[in-house]
């Protein structure tokens, strides 16, 4: 068990290392660099050369990568090239914002998804099951930016119930914060609930078809007890998996949602950094996203092992 977990952690670190190298290589392929992005239409060859030297962009790419990696390994995220502020100061508050929004969405969506999934599984083939499936499929197939714009159109522009700008700032009260972030959170909830709900339903149903469940019913147990005590624990692994996957998505997939609602999170920040070719910022943000993804997936894997007696006690 411990060995398995250690293995997962080692694999995760290797993945992150590969991600960092890929991101670095990717940003090198993009046309232009931070110097030309800063100077824009006002760039002259002299000012470009001066700025590049100033920022250390005249060094070879591999050398810059190694310098960055060395700093990263020792916990130093470096300085932003564009405004010479420590990356950490810019990054962590926005990471906090992204996590807060993800948490808000997850707290709402996970219980709803699991309950709806269970209900649909129990009433397999009924009106409720079919109805909820159609609705779920509809939301899954709508891209989040479209869904976000629809919500803005109806809830914000037409009926003025909620603000279309997720305008948050330090020192705002919690109810204000909730109000400001409800639309983006709702968009994320709608996108993620559908998938988790369908997965829960499928997982529970596949267990419900097994002989021991039938035996439980034949013993005269009530549906509720069969589902909660006998079926659900055995269906837990795939559910936890899809939940972890969706939470990872809530953290890493919010770029578009943040843009639509103008939310000051890590996704918007990263887009900004890429546009400015601000490599330390891009790298740091990519590593945070990568780490969130790897960690949540590892948790899902480990949970699957922990929840499955056959994997827990391999023969």
Partner 1 sequence: MSNNQSPFALSRRQFMAGAAGLGLTTLASGLIVPQAFAQEATPKRGGVLKLGIGGGSTTDTFDIRVLNDWVPVNQAYMTFNGLVEIDKDNQVQPELFESWEPSADAKEWTFKIRQGVTFHDGKTLTAEDILYSLNLHRGEASTSAARSTAGQFADVVKVSDTEIKIVLDSGNADLPYILSDYHFLIVPEGFEDWTKPIGTGPFKLESYEPGVRARFTRNESYWKPNTAWVDAVEVIVINDIAARTNAMMSGQVHAINQLDFKTVDLLKRNPNLEVVQSAGGQHFTFLMDCTQGPYTDNNVRMAIKYAIDREQLLTTALRGYGKLGNDHPIPVTDPFYAADLPQRAYDPEKSKFYLKEAGLDSLDIELSASDAAFSGAVDAAAIFQSSAAASGINLSIKREPSDGYWSNVWMKAPFSMGYWGGRPTADQMLTIAYSSTSAQNDTHWKNETFDAKLVEARALLDNAKRKEIYAELQQLISDDGGAMIPMFGDYLDAVSTKLGGVTTHPMFNFMGARLAEKVWLEA
Smaller CB separation from partner 1, 112 or 155: 155
Helices and strands counted in the chain (H then E): 15, 0
Smaller CB separation from partner 1, 180 or 242: 180
Specify the 3-state DSSP secondary structure of 86. Answer: strand
Cβ atoms 263, 184 nearer than 8 A: yes
Cβ atoms 263, 101 nearer than 8 A: yes
If we measure between CA atoms, which residue out of 99, 100, 119 comes closest to residue 111?
119
If we measure between CA atoms, which residue out of 110, 305, 105, 310 comes closest to residue 200?
110
Smaller CB separation from partner 1, 208 or 281: 281
C-alpha 143/C-alpha 133 separation (Å) is: 17
Per the structure block, which two tokens stand in for 227? 């589902």
Smaller CB separation from partner 1, 129 or 272: 272
Smaller CB separation from partner 1, 97 or 297: 97
Instruction: Kindly state the smallest distance separating residue 266's Cβ from partner 1, in Å.
Output: 12
C-alpha 73/C-alpha 221 separation (Å) is: 57
Smaller CB separation from partner 1, 152 or 226: 152
Instruction: Kindly state the smallest distance separating residue 48's Cβ from partner 1, in Å.
Output: 8
C-alpha 89/C-alpha 77 separation (Å) is: 10
Angle between the N-to-C axes of helices 87-122 and 174-208, in degrees from 0 to 180, rounded to the nearest 10: 40
Smaller CB separation from partner 1, 169 or 174: 169
Instruction: Kindly state the smallest distance separating residue 189's Cβ from partner 1, in Å.
Output: 19
Smaller CB separation from partner 1, 40 or 175: 40
Residue 229: DSSP 8-state = I
Instruction: Kindly state the smallest distance separating residue 165's Cβ from partner 1, in Å.
Output: 5
Cβ atoms 280, 34 nearer than 8 A: no
CA 62 to centroid of chain Cα atoms: 30
Instruction: Kindly state the smallest distance separating residue 61's Cβ from partner 1, in Å.
Output: 17
C-alpha 286/C-alpha 255 separation (Å) is: 12
Instruction: Kindly state the smallest distance separating residue 288's Cβ from partner 1, in Å.
Output: 16
C-alpha 213/C-alpha 227 separation (Å) is: 9
Which residues would be at the binding site for partner 1 (CB under 8 A)?
A: 30-32, 36-44, 48, 80, 82-83, 90, 149, 152, 156-157, 160, 163-165, 167, 169-170, 259-262, 264, 269, 272-273, 275-278
Instruction: Kindly state the smallest distance separating residue 152's Cβ from partner 1, in Å.
Output: 5
Cβ atoms 161, 155 nearer than 8 A: yes
Instruction: Kindly state the smallest distance separating residue 262's Cβ from partner 1, in Å.
Output: 5
Instruction: Kindly state the smallest distance separating residue 283's Cβ from partner 1, in Å.
Output: 15
Smaller CB separation from partner 1, 230 or 277: 277
Render 73-85 in DSSP notation, one character per residue.
HTT---B-TTT--
């Amino acid at each position: 068990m411990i060995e398995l977990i250690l293995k997962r952690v080692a694999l995760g670190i290797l993945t992150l290392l590969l991600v960092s190298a890929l991101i670095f290589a990717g940003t090198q392929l993009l046309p232009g660099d931070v110097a030309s992005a800063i100077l824009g239409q006002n760039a002259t060859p002299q000012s470009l050369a001066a700025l590049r030297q100033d920022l250390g962009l005249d060094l070879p790419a591999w050398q810059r990568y190694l310098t960055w990696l060395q700093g990263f390994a020792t916990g130093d995220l470096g300085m932003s090239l564009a405004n010479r502020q420590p990356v950490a100061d810019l990054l962590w508050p926005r990471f906090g914002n992204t996590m807060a929004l993800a948490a808000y969405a997850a707290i709402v969506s996970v219980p709803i998804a699991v309950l709806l999934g269970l209900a649909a599984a129990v009433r397999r083939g009924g009106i409720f099951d079919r109805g909820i499936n159609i609705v779920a499929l509809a939301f899954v197939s709508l891209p989040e930016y479209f869904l976000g714009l629809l919500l803005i159109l109806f809830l914000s522009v037409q009926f003025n119930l909620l603000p279309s700008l997720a305008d948050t700032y330090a020192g705002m009260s919690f109810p204000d914060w909730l109000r400001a972030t409800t639309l983006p959170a709702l968009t994320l909830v709608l996108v993620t609930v559908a998938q988790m709900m369908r997965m829960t339903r499928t997982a529970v149903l596949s267990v419900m078809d097994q002989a021991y469940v039938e035996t439980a019913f034949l013993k005269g147990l009530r549906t509720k007890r069969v589902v909660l005590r006998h079926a659900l624990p055995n269906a837990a692994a795939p559910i936890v998996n899809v939940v972890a996957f969706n939470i990872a998505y809530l953290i890493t997939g919010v770029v578009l949602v943040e843009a639509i609602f103008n939310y000051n999170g890590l996704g918007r920040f990263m887009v900004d950094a890429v546009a400015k070719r601000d490599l330390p910022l891009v790298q740091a943000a990519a590593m945070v996203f990568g780490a969130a993804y790897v960690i949540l997936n590892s948790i899902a894997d480990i949970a699957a092992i922990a929840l499955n007696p056959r994997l827990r006690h391999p023969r």
